[in-house]
Chains A and B, each alone.
Chain A
Amino acid sequence: MSVIAEHGGIAEHIHPEPQGFIRKYIFSLDHKIIGIQYIITAFVFFVLAGCLAEIIRIQLMHANGGFITPDTYDEVYSIHGSAMVWLVIIPMLTGGFGNLVMPVQIGARDVAFPWLNMISFWIFPISGLMLFSSFLMGAPVAGWTEYPPMSLQGAAGTSMWCAAIFLVGVSSTLTGMNFLVTMLKMRAPGMTYTRMPLFCWGQFATAPLLMIATTALAAALAALFMERQFGVPFYDPTKGGSPVLWQHMFWFYSHPAVYIMILPAFGIMSEVIPVFSRKPIFGYRLIAFSSAAIALAGFMVWAHHMFTSGIAPYMQLPFMVITFIIAVPTGVKIFSWIATMWEGKIHLTSAMLFAIGFLVLFTFGGISGVFLAAIPFDLHVHGTYFIPAHIHFVLVGGSLMGIFAGFYYWFPKMTGRAMSEFWGRVHFVLFMIGFLGTFLPMHWLGAEGMPRRVATYDPQFQGINQFESIFSFIMTLAILIFFINALYSIRNGKKVGHNPWGARTLEWQIPSPMPYYNFKHVPSVFGLPYDFTEPLPYAHLEEELTDAPVPVGSH
């Protein structure tokens, strides 16, 4: 049977909800189920790649290593980096939270191409398994960047790595296109661009990056694969190739990719901070505009990863200056979030704590990014531990803190139950202590003379490395607490109704878990979702929910 929904005189067909387990939960076309599938799969890969991180820290307890051989160590950090970037953070923030939340927030019933969405998802675990299976045939050793000619000499698993990353890139590209079309064409009546929730603005800025940048990576990977398997000389200088070509193509993708990994997290901040400050977001337009500005400028800075590679000296300058300029819109966002807290009524829920942690850690990572952009200083710290320190401050202190904030925030929307706030706070405190102890001293190690990607190192650095390893175990404990809390709360968490936080975006105005097809009536939108003193700016929502008083989280 099919239900006919009325809205503005246009009748729309709603297909019946599939009933079988496989159609409902495995090969689902429903964006919410696909989003949750992405989140679960990405967390599985997060655990695997996290174990690799602990192997790295155990090896570095001793200046002479000795836990694993240098070759195995090289494989471990290469897969750790590749998996965390391509199998955890990007899919979690785009395919995961993007799918779960974005269509509902713009008042759509699904993404534009549900079949494509399902295919995007199913490519992702397959490519993830391919990536980890490269351990069976000798995993790549040259890090997540896989610079040739080193990667040309790598074991057979390096070709598997190429294929796996290529495939996960296809998944990203399809998701980007799907999201872009959804946001361009399927916004509810009245949902203008200047009324879109800022999480959607984050996704809106990310989608073109996914589509355009990933294709450059695909080309680079295809060339590397062909060179390795069939001897087509793209990168081997002894056959007329250029190793620097790979660096340009790789960073033409991978620099925008760091914005793919942070813009959706910015979006999560822009939702979580106003809701828990009980205050409108400060400077909506400037935050939305700065997302777009960062996305655009993100395409023009890739060579700042190559200041030591010997590109023409005068060509270095525009890359340095544009990189500095990106600090401006990023700073504007951070100032706006802090100003949102001014004169608020701040509820220190777990989600808000992680948002605050994000501000503290990401600002530090952003500042060390400016240090790295300055060519003279970069010439000193390039290729040292300063780089892992910076990248973990922005990707763990930024993206992962955003993921945790978003997970605590939207968990009730996924399950109808809330996670334990007490254990959420324990998670936050332990994670902050562990994180700072692990990654803060790395800046100093790098500046003092410890190169990255080493299995053994100068004994003068042993004390600090042991200190870092011990704190990394605290971080692991925090993440263990998080997983236990999440798994326990799925069935046993407190039932909290459809809008426990008193949020005003559309996903909180429908039941939890969200019903199939989201809205019986497609809503009409009359304003921004951040005016806490006004009535909700929506019409045609289900009445029993719109008329209910807005409850507020009482924490």
Chain B
Amino acid sequence: MSRHRGFQIVTVVLALLSIAEILYFWLMPSVEPWLPPEGGHPGDQVDWLFRFMASAAALLYTFVVGYIIYFVIAFRRRRSDPPDALGANIHDNPKLEAAWTIVPTLFVVLLSILSIKIWYVLQVQPANGLVVESIGRQWYFTFRYPDVNGEITSEMHLPVNVPVTLNMTSGDVIHSFWVPDMRLKADMIPGMINTIRFTPTRIGRYQIICTEFCGTGHSTMDKQVMVVEPVAQYEAWYHLWQARNAHAGNGIPTVSSGAISLVGGYAGAGKALFSQKCSACHALAPFGQRIVGPGLLGVLHDPAHPDLVDGAPATPADVAKILQSGYTGSYGHMPDQAENGLSNKDIANLVAYLNTLRLK
């Protein structure tokens, strides 16, 4: 067997390498080099499955690539070989073939059992906690809470360590709701309700990302966050929205009819608001540079565009009207006050800020 001495050495080296890789995947304190930090249950179960699959994959791939490299070096045709030299006349080896059919089959059975086990954990998450709805729209998410009228369009707040049932659908095309830190995702499909259940366990602000292409603004549909906070803070936030939306209809946006007072608008506050609420869709650039909506640099002072997109003249009052009542037309869809969650004071601040912007 000295002929195969090299093969034996390589096998031992690959085995040691595989063991090191497996130990790495099991003993690394967190999966963070490979996945974002984990924010809740059952995301921790997914991480466990990742460790298992990564270990098995490392073992298999180390041996496959290791043997390929070794065979290419050890069994290459050498210059000393006659030009018509042939390899060994081996056709098959039934035992070996049986082994590499049966062993992977057994592994597949094991992997199926483990995956189904974790899949089952995902199915039986407690449904008795908080029930929240999320609706995907081009190109933002809205959230509905029990006993809060209307849709909340800014952030989604959740109390820590409370089970959540999140029902979701879409108002237009298919979107997908993904919070990487929670390891969970479901498509938002018009006419269907999909549900995910989880328990956030770590306080923090987590990006909500749309992962199903949904049109021009799809790339910008990652600006909203899921805020996980202590129960007391959550309740304060919840009561604030309950009060704020007290007069909004049941899920149907209502708009106050009167014009908004712009007196006392503060441009500094408007600037901060703009980067939070507007910059996903509007650039601080001339009209022609659209992200989703037109650029807003100099919207009130652009001689090339004396009118707004709705045809009204570009005055502070008319800008406020669009912020209040929204716009739907050939330039796309701009959310109204019920959707965009801006208070009258916010609108006054924003208009004051927009008024300071001049084309260069």
Interface set of A (CB-CB < 8 Å, partner B): 65, 69-71, 74, 141-143, 147, 149-150, 153, 237-238, 242-244, 277-280, 282-286, 308-310, 313, 316-317, 320-321, 324-325, 327-328, 331-332, 334-336, 338-339, 341-348, 356, 359-360, 363-364, 367, 370-371, 374-377, 379-380, 382-384, 444, 447-449, 451-458, 502, 530-533, 550, 552, 554
Asked whether, in the complex, the Cβ of B215 is within 8 Å of the Cβ of A153, the reply is yes
| Residues of B close to A444: CB separation below 8 A | 34
Q: Distance in Å from the Cβ of B165 to the closest Cβ of chain A? A: 15
Q: Distance in Å from the Cβ of B139 to the closest Cβ of chain A? A: 10
Chain A residue with minimal CB distance to B7? A342
The tally of CB-CB contacts under 8 A between chains A and B is 257
Q: Which one of A342, A376, A384 lies within 8 Å of B45 (CB-CB)?
A: A376
Q: Check A449/B108 contact, CB under 8 A, given A153-B173, A310-B186, A383-B185.
A: no
Q: Which one of A238, A244, A308, A530 lies within 8 Å of B186 (CB-CB)?
A: A308
| Residues of B close to A284: CB separation below 8 A | 91-92
Chain A residue with minimal CB distance to B114? A374
| Residues of A close to B290: CB separation below 8 A | 69
Q: Check A343/B90 contact, CB under 8 A, given A321-B112, A453-B218.
A: yes
Closest 3 CB pairs of A and B: A383-B211, A237-B191, A279-B87
How far apart are the CA atoms of A309 and B211 in the complex, in Å? 12
Asked whether, in the complex, the Cβ of A328 is within 8 Å of the Cβ of B108, the reply is yes
| Residues of B close to A343: CB separation below 8 A | 75, 87-88, 90
How far apart are the CA atoms of A277 and B35 in the complex, in Å? 41
Q: Which one of B46, B85, B123, B291 lies within 8 Å of A377 (CB-CB)?
A: B46
Asked whether, in the complex, the Cβ of A142 is within 8 Å of the Cβ of B84, the reply is no
| Residues of B close to A375: CB separation below 8 A | 115, 119, 122
Q: Which one of B46, B60, B185 lies within 8 Å of A308 (CB-CB)?
A: B185
Contacts A/B (CB < 8 Å), 21 sampled: A150-B214, A278-B87, A279-B86, A286-B92, A286-B97, A286-B101, A310-B192, A328-B105, A338-B68, A346-B75, A348-B72, A348-B76, A356-B68, A359-B64, A374-B53, A375-B122, A376-B42, A376-B45, A453-B213, A454-B218, A531-B91
Asked whether, in the complex, the Cβ of B108 is within 8 Å of the Cβ of A147, the reply is no
Q: Distance in Å from the Cβ of B266 to the closest Cβ of chain A? A: 29
Q: Check A360/B219 contact, CB under 8 A, given A153-B173, A327-B108, A346-B77.
A: no
Question: B228: CB under 8 A from chain A?
Answer: no
Chain A residue with minimal CB distance to B46? A376
Residues B142-185 near A (CB distance < 8 A) = 172-174, 176, 178, 180, 183-185
Residues B20-51 near A (CB distance < 8 A) = 34-36, 42, 45-46, 49-50
Q: Distance in Å from the Cβ of A429 to the closest Cβ of chain B? A: 14
| Residues of A close to B34: CB separation below 8 A | 444, 447
Asked whether, in the complex, the Cβ of B85 is within 8 Å of the Cβ of A280, the reply is no
Asked whether, in the complex, the Cβ of B75 is within 8 Å of the Cβ of A237, the reply is no
| Residues of A close to B68: CB separation below 8 A | 338, 341, 356, 359-360
| Residues of A close to B42: CB separation below 8 A | 376
How far apart are the CA atoms of A447 and B38 in the complex, in Å? 12
Q: Which one of A153, A278, A371 lies within 8 Å of B53 (CB-CB)?
A: A371
Asked whether, in the complex, the Cβ of B212 is within 8 Å of the Cβ of A383, the reply is yes
Q: Check A379/B108 contact, CB under 8 A, given A243-B190, A283-B92, A347-B77.
A: no
Q: Distance in Å from the Cβ of A206 to the closest Cβ of chain B? A: 22
How far apart are the CA atoms of A533 and B86 in the complex, in Å? 8
Residues B88-108 near A (CB distance < 8 A) = 88-93, 96-97, 100-101, 104-105, 108
Supplied contacts A310-B186, A332-B101, 12 more A-B pairs, CB within 8 Å: A74-B218, A147-B212, A243-B189, A280-B90, A282-B91, A339-B96, A348-B76, A363-B61, A380-B180, A380-B183, A453-B213, A458-B207
How far apart are the CA atoms of A452 and B221 in the complex, in Å? 12
Main secondary structure of the interface of B (DSSP, over half): mixed
Chain B residue with minimal CB distance to A320? B115
| Residues of A close to B331: CB separation below 8 A | none
Residue from B88, B97, B212, B217 with most neighbouring chain A CB atoms (10 Å) = B212
Q: Check A379/B184 contact, CB under 8 A, given A321-B112, A374-B111.
A: yes
| Residues of A close to B336: CB separation below 8 A | none
Asked whether, in the complex, the Cβ of A308 is within 8 Å of the Cβ of B111, the reply is no
How far apart are the CA atoms of A176 and B115 in the complex, in Å? 37
Asked whether, in the complex, the Cβ of A279 is within 8 Å of the Cβ of B90, the reply is yes
Asked whether, in the complex, the Cβ of B190 is within 8 Å of the Cβ of A237, the reply is yes
| Residues of B close to A374: CB separation below 8 A | 49, 53, 111, 115
Q: Distance in Å from the Cβ of B75 to the closest Cβ of chain A? A: 5
Q: Distance in Å from the Cβ of B84 to the closest Cβ of chain A? A: 5
Q: How many residues of B contact A (CB 8 A)?
A: 81
Q: Check A243/B180 contact, CB under 8 A, given A70-B219, A367-B61.
A: no
How far apart are the CA atoms of A217 and B16 in the complex, in Å? 48
| Residues of A close to B35: CB separation below 8 A | 380, 447-448
How far apart are the CA atoms of A147 and B119 in the complex, in Å? 26
| Residues of B close to A332: CB separation below 8 A | 97, 100-101, 104
Asked whether, in the complex, the Cβ of B119 is within 8 Å of the Cβ of A384, the reply is no
Asked whether, in the complex, the Cβ of A328 is within 8 Å of the Cβ of B104, the reply is yes
Asked whether, in the complex, the Cβ of B222 is within 8 Å of the Cβ of A370, the reply is no
Question: B187: CB under 8 A from chain A?
Answer: yes
Q: Which one of A238, A309, A328 lies within 8 Å of B101 (CB-CB)?
A: A328
Residue from A325, A342, A348, A384 with most neighbouring chain B CB atoms (10 Å) = A342
Q: Which one of A244, A344, A360 lies within 8 Å of B189 (CB-CB)?
A: A244
How far apart are the CA atoms of A210 and B119 in the complex, in Å? 34
Q: Which one of A143, A345, A456 lies within 8 Å of B81 (CB-CB)?
A: A345
Asked whether, in the complex, the Cβ of A364 is within 8 Å of the Cβ of B61, the reply is yes
Q: Distance in Å from the Cβ of B198 to the closest Cβ of chain A? A: 11
| Residues of B close to A244: CB separation below 8 A | 189, 192
| Residues of B close to A242: CB separation below 8 A | 191
How far apart are the CA atoms of A363 and B304 in the complex, in Å? 58
Asked whether, in the complex, the Cβ of A449 is within 8 Å of the Cβ of B207, the reply is yes
Asked whether, in the complex, the Cβ of A345 is within 8 Å of the Cβ of B36, the reply is no
How far apart are the CA atoms of A356 and B65 in the complex, in Å? 10
How far apart are the CA atoms of A400 and B325 in the complex, in Å? 53
How far apart are the CA atoms of A71 and B216 in the complex, in Å? 6
Chain B residue with minimal CB distance to A528? B91
| Residues of B close to A452: CB separation below 8 A | 211, 213
Asked whether, in the complex, the Cβ of B92 is within 8 Å of the Cβ of A376, the reply is no
Q: Distance in Å from the Cβ of A446 to the closest Cβ of chain B? A: 9
How far apart are the CA atoms of A286 and B86 in the complex, in Å? 23
| Residues of A close to B243: CB separation below 8 A | none
Question: B287: CB under 8 A from chain A?
Answer: no
Question: B319: CB under 8 A from chain A?
Answer: no
Asked whether, in the complex, the Cβ of A342 is within 8 Å of the Cβ of B219, the reply is no
Q: Check A150/B61 contact, CB under 8 A, given A344-B87, A377-B49.
A: no
How far apart are the CA atoms of A359 and B34 in the complex, in Å? 25
